[in-house]
A and B are shown apart, each in its own frame.
Chain A
Amino acid sequence: MALSIFALIGHKNGAADDSAFELAAAAKAIDAGASVTAVVCGAGSELDSVCQAVSATYPTVWKVNHAALAYPNAEALRPALAKVLPKGAIVLMAHDTLGMDLGPGLSIKLDAAFVPDVVGIDGLDGNVLKLVRQEFGGQVSTHIQCDIGDGAVINVRSGAFQPTGDAVSGSVVDKSGDVGDIQPKRKYLETVVAEVGDVDITKADVLVSVGRGIEDQENISIAQELADAIGAVVSCSRPIVDAKWLEKSRQVGTSGKTVKPKVYIALGISGSFQHLGGIKGNPFMVAINKNPKAPIFQVADVGVVTNLLEFVPELTERIKEKK
C-alpha cells in the first residue's frame, strides 16, 4: 500500500523556502510511489503564490488559511495540523527553527514516531523506515530504524536532499475549514533584527574564522594578526560568540550571518552543519585543526592537522617576511 506523505511548506513573504522542494525529494526517497501532499499554512493572499509555486512540484497542495497562522507560531500550527492531518500520516518538515519548535510536540499530538535532523533516507522495509542521522556535531553518523505504523514526523536537515526538478501540474485544495478555533498560549510579539557590527563580514572576500580550538580569548589576536597580514576580516563560529569573545555580528552560520567570501580560513572550527550552512558561494576553504577527524576536513579544499596556536603565528610571520 502506498504511503500518504505530507510536506509542511516553510514560506516567507509569499515565497516558498528552498526546503519546500528538498522535502519532495526526501518523500521520494522514502517511497517513490507515495502520494505526496504539500501543506501550506498561513493567512491571507500571500498563501496563493506559495501554493502556486509548490504545485509545480507536488501533485496535491493543501491550503490552510487561518488568522491565527499569520505568523508561523508553532503553538498555533501544532493544533491546526493535528486537526487537518489524517491519522497515520507521515509528516516531513525542515529541521529549522520552526521545525524544532513544532515537530517534537506534533509527533505527540499525532501519536506518531519522531525523528529529528535526518540527513539520509535508506528506504522502507515494511513499517520500518531506515534513516541516517548524525551525532556529536557530525563527528559520527547513526543508522536509525523508525516504526512508522502509527505515522511519523520526520524533520529533515536543510540541504541534505537535492530537489529532483520533476515538474507536475498540481491542484490546490482549500482545507481552511478543518482548522476550527485555535487559542495558542503563546503570542508572537515582534522580531528583533540582529545588530550590524563595526565590520560587515558578509562583504569580505577573505575571512579568517575562529572556533573553539582557539582555546582562549587572548588567542583571538593570533587570528587578527593573520587577518591583518593578508588583508582579511576576522569572523567566528558560535562558541566564540557564546563566550562573548567576539560580537554576534562576526558569527558565521545559520544562527549568524551568511557569508560569500572567495577564501575562507577556518582556525579551530570543527565544521558543524549549522556553521557550514552560513558559508555560500563555494569559497576556497583552508582548515587548520588539531583533530584530524573534524568534519571541517570533509568540506575544506586544503587542511593542516596541527596545533594552530603554534602554527598560525609562524604562518603570519612567513607571510610578512615574503611581502
Chain B
Amino acid sequence: MEILVCVKRVPDTAENEIVVNSSGSDIERGDLVYSVNEWDNYAVEEAIQIRDRVGGSVTVVTVGDEESEEVLRREMAMGADKGILISDPAFEGSDGKGIASILKAEVEKGKYDLILTGAQADDGAAQVGGMLAAMLDLPFASLVNKIEIVNDKTIKVGREVEGGNQEMNEISLPCVLSIQTGINEPRYVGIRGIRKVASVEIPVHKAADLGIDPAKVGKAGAKVKKVDYFIPPAGKGAEILEGSSEEIADKLIELLKAKGGIK
C-alpha cells in the first residue's frame, strides 16, 4: 500500500508558553521549541505499522519553510521511507484551502492508496484533510482511531465520536483519513535514528514544479485571513491563592471542606 502522510512543524505546546507579541501580529516565536504536530506523529506511526503489515511505502510531506525539513527527517527516522518538502515564498499566508490545494497538486504527481493527516494542528482548525479529499473527489473520514485493512480496495475505520464512542465505517480506497491521537503508541526517536537519515536527500517542490498558480495560493488567494492575535479580556477568573505552600494548603483545605470536597 502506498501511503502519503501530511505533516506540519508546529510550536510544541508542552514545551512552551504561548505569548502574543507586542504588536499582536503574531505569537512570540523567538524562543519557541518546534516539533512535529502531535496528531501527525500518530498518523505517521499508523502508516508505518500498516506498511509493515501489508507492504508498500510511506512518504511524508510538508508545506513549509526550509526549517520544516527537520520534522520530515524526524518522521523518516521513525521509519517513513521518503520525505518531500513543498516550499515556495508564494505559499506564505495560505489559508486552509490554499494548503489543501498545494497538497492536492503533490498527491496528483504520485499514486497513493491512502492519504493521512493529523486530525488537527496548532491552530485547531481540523480542515486540511477534509478539503483535500473533496478536491480529489476521494472519500474522507475524520477523527480516525482505528484502521483495519480488509483488502486492497476496502478498509474499515473507527471514528472517535461524542462520549468516547467509536463509529465504525467501511470506506473504499483510495481515501483520505484524519488521524486522532491515541490510535497507537508512536515509537520513540533517538538521536541515533535521526543521524541515520541525516544525509538522505529530501526533494524540494516549488509552485512551478507542481504547476500551481501563485495567485491562487498564499496571502493573495486566501479568503480567510488572520488579522491579529490577542488575549481575550479576562473573565471573573480564579481567585489565585498566595502565600507559603503551607498557607496555601490550609486555605485550600478550608475551602474544600466548605464545598464538600473532603469527606
Chain A interface residues toward B at CB < 8 A: 73-75, 78, 96-97, 100-109, 113-117, 132-137, 139-147, 150, 184-194, 205-206, 212, 230-232, 238-239, 241-242, 244, 248, 251, 254-258, 262-263, 265, 284-287, 291-293, 296-306, 310-311, 314-315, 318-319, 322
Interface size on B, residues (CB 8 A): 82
How far, in angstroms, from A74 to B169 measured CA to CA in the complex?
Answer: 11
Query: CB distance A302 to B140 under 8 Å?
Result: no
Query: CB distance B13 to A137 under 8 Å?
Result: yes
Chain B interface residues toward A at CB < 8 A: 11, 13-14, 17-20, 27, 96-97, 100, 119, 122-131, 133-135, 138-143, 156, 158-172, 175, 181-182, 185, 223-232, 234-235, 237-241, 245-246, 248-250, 252-253, 255-256, 259-263
30 contacts between A and B (CB under 8 A): A96-B162, A97-B159, A103-B130, A104-B127, A104-B128, A104-B134, A108-B97, A108-B134, A141-B231, A187-B170, A189-B168, A191-B165, A192-B168, A193-B165, A194-B164, A206-B260, A256-B164, A258-B163, A262-B260, A284-B261, A286-B255, A286-B256, A296-B238, A298-B234, A298-B235, A301-B238, A302-B241, A302-B252, A306-B245, A315-B253
Query: CB distance B169 to A191 under 8 Å?
Result: no
B170 contacts which chain A residues (CB < 8 A)?
186-187, 189
How far, in angstroms, from A205 to B18 measured CA to CA in the complex?
Answer: 34
Query: CB distance A140 to B27 under 8 Å?
Result: yes
A184 contacts which chain B residues (CB < 8 A)?
139
Query: CB distance B235 to A117 under 8 Å?
Result: no
Query: CB distance B140 to A105 under 8 Å?
Result: yes
How far, in angstroms, from A205 to B11 measured CA to CA in the complex?
Answer: 37
Q: State the total of A-B contacts with C-beta under 8 angstroms.
A: 265
Interface class of chain B by DSSP: mixed
B171 contacts which chain A residues (CB < 8 A)?
185-187
Query: CB distance B261 to A263 under 8 Å?
Result: yes
For the complex with contacts A116-B124, A117-B126, 18 further pairs of A-B residues with Cβ separation under 8 Å are A74-B142, A105-B140, A108-B135, A113-B97, A113-B223, A114-B96, A116-B125, A142-B229, A143-B227, A146-B225, A184-B139, A242-B181, A248-B164, A286-B252, A297-B238, A302-B238, A304-B252, A322-B253
Q: Given A97-B159, A101-B143, verify A191-B166 contact (CB < 8 Å).
A: yes
How far, in angstroms, from A196 to B165 measured CA to CA in the complex?
Answer: 11
Measured CB to CB, the nearest residue on chain B to A316 is: B249
| Distance of A29 from chain B, by nearest CB (Å) | 16
How far, in angstroms, from A296 to B235 measured CA to CA in the complex?
Answer: 12
Query: CB distance B240 to A105 under 8 Å?
Result: no
A107 contacts which chain B residues (CB < 8 A)?
97, 131, 134
Partner of B224, one of A105, A109, A115, A285: A115
Partner of B165, one of A101, A103, A109, A192: A192
Measured CB to CB, the nearest residue on chain B to A230 is: B262
| Distance of A83 from chain B, by nearest CB (Å) | 15
B160 contacts which chain A residues (CB < 8 A)?
97, 255
Partner of B263, one of A116, A230, A298: A230
| Distance of A220 from chain B, by nearest CB (Å) | 17
Query: CB distance A75 to B140 under 8 Å?
Result: yes
